[in-house]
Amino acid sequence: KNEVEQSPQNLTAQEGEFITINCSYSVGISALHWLQQHPGGGIVSLFMLSSGKKKHGRLIATINIQEKHSSLHITASHPRDSAVYICAVRSINNNDMRFGAGTRLTVKP
């Protein structure tokens, strides 16, 4: 079993829909990152979380440390949000980074 599991693997939505991507992990962590990889390959760090909730524009990220779960929400989705979203956690024991397999989001106009 992977230490970081993301769901769904693939997600297709219509423009304007509310999107939720989930990340569950099995190790103790000191931080969780949400990354966005564009179709061209570039990677952008969206959020770094250790507790609670963060919001940036239409993006919201939450984390529940007790449940070892994080969600990334996109409100009023737009075709330009189409990308692969990757969850990454940093182990509290050895600072190792572990990555989810990614969620491929396609937003259709």
Partner 1 sequence: DAGVIQSPRHEVTEMGQEVTLRCKPISGHDYLFWYRQTMMRGLELLIYFNNNVPIDDSGMPEDRFSAKMPNASFSTLKIQPSEPRDSAVYFCASSLKFLGRQGPTSSNEKLFFGSGTQLSVL
Question: Which range of residues in 8-16, 41-49, 63-71, 72-80 is near partner 1 by CB under 8 A?
Answer: 41-49
- List the helix and strand counts (H, then E) for the chain: 0, 11
Considering the rule CB under 8 A, would residue 53 count as an interface residue with partner 1?
Answer: no
Scan for tokens 């940036």, then name that residue. Answer: 56
Considering the rule CB under 8 A, would residue 50 count as an interface residue with partner 1?
Answer: yes
Considering the rule CB under 8 A, would residue 63 count as an interface residue with partner 1?
Answer: no
Considering the rule CB under 8 A, would residue 89 count as an interface residue with partner 1?
Answer: no
Q: Which residues of 86-105 are buried (b: 16+ CB within 10 A; e: fewer)?
A: bbbbbbeeeeeebebebbbb
Helices of type H across the chain: none
Considering the rule CB under 8 A, would residue 76 count as an interface residue with partner 1?
Answer: no
Total binding residues toward partner 1, as defined by CB under 8 A: 23
Residue 88 half-sphere exposure toward CB, CA atoms < 13 A: 20
Considering the rule CB under 8 A, would residue 45 count as an interface residue with partner 1?
Answer: yes
Considering the rule CB under 8 A, would residue 105 count as an interface residue with partner 1?
Answer: no
Considering the rule CB under 8 A, would residue 100 count as an interface residue with partner 1?
Answer: yes
Concatenating the DSSP letter of every residue in 74-105 gives ESS--GGG-EEEEEEEEETTT--EEE---EEE
| Residues forming the site for partner 1 (CB under 8 A) | 30-31, 33, 35, 41-45, 48, 50, 86, 88, 90, 92, 94-97, 99-102
